[in-house]
Amino acid sequence: MQNKEHFLLIAGEPDKWDTEIREQAGSVGLVALQNAQFMDGRRGAILQPIRGGKAWIVTHDSSLVGFAPLCGMGATDKGTAIRCGVDWAEADPLKREFYARKQDVTPAEIEDAKRGA
């Protein structure tokens, strides 16, 4: 997860991927690098507000899979959506990351959701 200014990492361990992006970004195009990482199994997901923030979903963060929803297709509260995203990322933390925009979630909300509060 490169952009830590605007996003919070919730689950996963993207350090290896971030290092690879930094090392190769100058020698290959970004789209080619993203495609190569995708083919190697890297996946990302993001927490998304819907219905004006009254419900939440988790979607893939890539157009390579059509930004497909992972969970929360119905009306899901934020905590449930966070737990779903965490479960998804933790199933393969070296190849999956789950994050949110800083404007959409606080660290306290993340911790509460992880504890099941």
pLDDT of residue 64: 76
pTM comes to: 0.83
Residue 2 or residue 70, greater confidence: 70
- Tell me the torsion sign for CA atoms 74, 80, 86, 92: negative
Indicate the pLDDT class of residue 76, thresholds 50, 70 and 90. confident
pLDDT digits over 39-62, tens only? 888 889 999 998 777 889 999 888
pLDDT at 113 over 90: no
pLDDT at 89 over 90: yes
